[in-house]
Amino acid sequence: MKILSRYLLKQHAIPFIFAFSALTGFLLINQVARRIESLLGKGLPWTVVAEFFMLTLPYLIAMTLSMAVLVSVLYAFTRMADDKEITAIRASGVSLWQILVPVLAGAAAVSVAAFVFTDQVLPRTNHRLRTLMTSIARASPTFSLKEHSINQVGQRRRYFLRAASIDQSTYRMRDVALYDLADSRSSRVVYADSGRLGYTPGQQDLQLKLYEARIHEFDRDETHMFQSSDVDEQILVIRGIGAEFVRAEEDNYRGDREMGTCQLDSVVRQADRERLMSELRAEAVRSNNLRSLVGLPVIEPDTTRRSRGPSLYCRATDALANWLGPKQLEAQEASQDERQMVDSTLKALAKQLNPRGRIALETSAVPPSNIGEFRALDDRARASRIRAANYRVEYYKKYAIPAACIVFVLIGVPIALRFSGGGVGLVVGASMLIFGIYYVGLIAGESLANRLVVPPFWAMWASNILFAVAGITALWRTHLAGTAPRAK
């Protein structure tokens, strides 16, 4: 079995490496083709363009790892079955389940590596990519202007632009106001009916054309001097905009895709605690008003409830980080202050809440003077549930996508053995079909979970569970039927 295990893993290694490289390269080329024109049109340094695509690479790797496992399984087992190697192995007394053991072990190793990558590396690169995209957007004002807002044109120039509407495809503007404060002695304000933004042929200077404009000029030294003029067309060229790139500073804000599993779990626990507090307050509004009608005192709630702590994985990661890295005294003091703040909040709530922990949806028992407060607390609890669901989706996704490596082995082996003569066409066709169904299920599940239609766990794990059940069933039927080729 040791010789057979090494042979099976060797048969999968080369197709896996080839598929992983080809899929990642294809997706990267697709990203380059979609983005290169807009990036080069901004006059960015080549190092910034290269950094942008390098930071998109980890996201592509997280997707293609599981894809490469399926392609390698389909290719290896299809070739071995077509060459009668599987038949010879089965004839020597080795069962199909024994053949699967080394392949599943290899897929499990890839799954663990994929999880560590998506948990530790991917959130950091996503955060750096978002910061870089913010800097790139600021480098070209045509890509960052907002309607009904005063936008600064350029980082070092004192031009400010406001427009009621902006067409992002043609950069035509309506109801435009331009504030020119570049001159230290005078100020100029241009009001125009419409306008258009564009680059000069060298892609370095920004050209602003304003139509049916009225120009107001003020002299800062002589405040009594004022000049007004009307023009049909006003052209303003702001030089050096395309070559201007200022890297944005790192910020502490992180979206759900910029967090690891432990950070996501912490946000979920905080949202659950906020939901619980809102539900207790809303129930207190209803229940205590009923008690006041019959002269009963307010019952204090059960404040001993505590949210669940971090998972074993998070505790182990924190312990490892504290052991390897320096002590973070400031972070420990901040967490202690947070616990004190939570404790003081719970003590303050103890005087007005009752021990029940669910919102009563019936508002008929709430006096009209308190209906607004009751509904506001109910809306706050729902917002906390939605927030928790959004972060739970990303939390479970970090486990579900790496686990797909094992699931794809279960579904890929019976397909390869059943259609052993399919060749490369079967590998490509079956891979595309399974990938499409799997990722459509993920996208649909994420959308439903974010709207609280289905629980986040089932939204992310439904595709894995369905494919695993189908794969195990097909494997069992293949085991019973044998792997001898069909008579022609």
> How far apart, in whole angstroms, are the C-alpha atoms of residue 132 and residue 314?
29
Q: What are the tens digits of pLDDT across the range 189-206?
A: 889 989 888 777 655 677
Cα R_g (the chain), whole angstroms: 31
The pLDDT, as a whole number, for residue 276 is 81
Average of per-residue pLDDT across 120-131? 91
Instruction: Answer for the pair 19, 73: CB distance below 8 angstroms, yes or no.
Output: no
pLDDT at 140: 57
Q: What is the pLDDT of residue 314?
A: 84
**Digit-coded pLDDT (tens) for 3-25:** 889 999 999 999 999 999 999 99
Q: What is the pTM of this model?
A: 0.70
Q: How confident is the model at residue 359 (pLDDT cuts 50, 70, 90)?
A: very low
Higher-confidence residue: 166 or 184? 166
User: Which is more confident, 247 or 382?
Assistant: 382
Predicted local distance difference test score (pLDDT) of residue 351? 43
Q: How far is CA 418 from CA 26, 115, 285, in A?
A: 29, 31, 64
Residue 283's pLDDT band (cuts 50, 70, 90) = confident
Tell me the pLDDT band of 430, cut-offs 50, 70 and 90. Answer: very high
Tell me which residue of 196, 215, 216, 214 sits closest to 206, measured CA to CA: 196
pLDDT in tens, 443-488: 999 999 988 899 999 999 999 999 999 999 999 998 887 644 444 4
Collapsing DSSP to helix, strand or coil, 204 comes out as coil
| Per-residue pLDDT at 340 exceeds 60 | no
148: left (phi over 0), alpha (psi -120 to 50) or beta: left
Higher local confidence (pLDDT), 194 or 348: 194
